[in-house]
Structure 1
């Protein structure tokens, strides 16, 4: 798959009339611009590979256990046995063994391209910075696929750790960013200890992931270094929640009737209808964390490049095991709080139900403004009927929810 991607890029460069070392012909794009345009093929390729991997893992985890299929009991009365979990864990490991080398080698290739042609990195950094600083440029018109944007962001974070970005933006007098402190390992909620990672090194835990943001960061957009939690996580999640409003409206149009204050009904229903895209987003964050952790643990300059060169761009077995555990955790996400914790969005973790409900209503309004969905029940009798439907559905949901809570005690 990696060779196929490289050949695609080479053909794209040839189509643009660019051969490295040759003088561009008149009325054609420059060699630098050809590189910048053609690397988009790799972004799309890697995003598609992530989507395929996610669907494969979901098919494994959503399938009934093999033991239940053999017994013919599909009613959920039988419990899964340890051998069932071992079976799907083995299947997930096989999927990781096929996918992760592709992710690792494409990231290795992208880092090499950025080192060879800094214009590629500058374009990627500008793209991510524009998404952060310009709310009007976060829409589908500018970023059709958030997954592809996450691939670009992963490259920017990796190159920042490599020191490939300048400490200051050209022609600006912004102060140097504060020194980067050593990143702390974070145990992903719900993860279990992984014996493969019990090594004499600093790595501990199964689906451990390093903090993707620096410990202290300037809030100014003039800081060329992008911090995950302080700068990127908030805009990314806001746009993901905004795009998810369309699916929410399709399945629960009554949520177009806005309430005031906290609404557990809105919170639960919205997450339920947006769960698929949100899980894929969380998985890509986990991939970035795993990549950054296993390639960035060596001291010295250009540690990632040296590590990847020595391993020919291949991931260690521990990384595949860690990603497998991450997939299980991501698949179990069932609340907004778990999602915010998983993607390390500190502001969201501090929200109460009132603030979260207000944020979801704001995202639904923004979705309508951008044309992601259409509200056909805004005025007149249609709105009155929808309000009645909302009242009935929310009452039924509260009754069913209370019964489920009692049964779990």
Structure 2
């Protein structure tokens, strides 16, 4: 059976081994066999490659830009890493769009997953939605391929990031809940809930959340160009190659991300205006509720100190009635 695929370039300039076989549901991507079932359900390998591209870039930047970076780190590492990541991400996303055109059920499955995550709090848990990074890629795919004039009605609908029916609120809620485990691991005193606003809680939680927050901002950035600048038709016409200034733009964005030093700055960068308008009391409430919900779900285990001081905690009950979800949605 003849192959209709052509070699594409990976981030390091090597050939991307892509074999798309006619009348077959078998694909080989970077040496990984991806068997597309009738619903395009096993496309997760491609989502993982896209997500890993962002994680690899962040790791490369950490090695150079953080204060703990060794002095012998090459100054050219961030530009080189940005160039590789930009090329790899756009090429892989082009592949995803191409597969979606031939297998529309990939988009249908992504749309259903996003809608379920947005509307059903149970669906947001780890046992149902294992990787939040994959969800952002699905959102980019759905919005980049939306076409209200398509003969296929499944391509008419998109999902916004921020509106009353958008993904931002529920997504950030779940991201903060999952991150709470690592915050408590660094400072177990944050399990004790003070009343009202706490500048210390905001500062300490932010400092211990920086790796997570930088990854979150970088993941959000990568979904923007493919949605805002590259329509489905343009992606196909340019074969997934980024614009000439894409790597330089990414380098500037990396610098912005590493300079963000507040919760407001994070919410502004990920374009969540409601969060950027929170005062200190509301931000603290969200951070406290994240820890409480993480413990309820079993994402982290309370410390021995907290178990020994149940009486103290009971004297200062934490009010969960305000609901993190309502904060993030209003």
1:160 to 138, 146, 151: 146
1:64, 1:11 → 2: CA distance?
A: 35
Summarize deviations over 1:100-158 as a string: whole Å, max 9, x none. Answer: 11110111111111121111100010011111111111111112211122121221121
Q: Give the equivalent residue in structure 1 for 2:132.
A: 146
Instruction: Give the corresponding residue for 2:59.
Output: 55
* 1:340 to 1:166, Cα distance in 2 relative to 1, 3 A: farther
Distance 2:300 2:234 in 1: 46
Q: Which has the larger radius of gyration?
A: 1
The answer as to whether partners of 1:283 and 1:327 remain within 8 angstroms in 2 is yes
**C-alpha deviation, 1:382, in angstroms:** 6.9
CA offsets per residue over residues 206-240 of structure 1, 9 Å max, x none?
A: xxxxxxxxxxxxxxxxxx43111121111111111
**Which residue, 197, 203, 211 being the options, matches 1:262?**
197
**Cα distance, 1:122–1:381 mapped onto 2, change above 3 Å:** closer
Which of 157, 162, 171 in structure 2 is aligned with 1:229? 162
1:90-169 superposed matches below 5 A: 90-160=76-146
Q: Is residue 3 of structure 1 aligned with residue 16 of structure 2?
A: yes
Match of residue 366 from structure 1: 293
- In 2, Cα distance between the equivalents of 1:251 and 1:164? 51
Cα distance in 1 between the residues matched to 2:119 and 2:302: 29
Deviation of 1:261 (Å): 1.1
> Which residue of structure 2 aligns with residue 334 of structure 1?
261
Deviation at 1:293, TM superposition (A): 3.4
In structure 2, the residue matched to 1:318 is 245
Residue 53 and residue 10 in structure 1: after superposition, are their counterparts in 2 closer, same or farther (change >3 A)? closer
The two structures have a TM-score, normalised by structure 2, of 0.79
Residue in structure 1 matching 2:38, options 27, 32, 56: 32
Q: Structure 1 length normalisation: TM-score?
A: 0.64
The number of equivalent residue pairs is 290
- Give the CA deviation at 1:96: 1.6
CA RMSD of aligned residues (A): 2.9
- Relative to structure 1, is the Cα distance of residues 119 and 324 closer, same or farther in structure 2, using a 3 angstrom cutoff? same
Give me the whole-angstrom Cα distance separating, in 1, the residues matched to 2:237 and 2:249.
21
- Tell me what 1:220 maps to: none
**Partner in structure 1 of residue 272 of structure 2:** 345
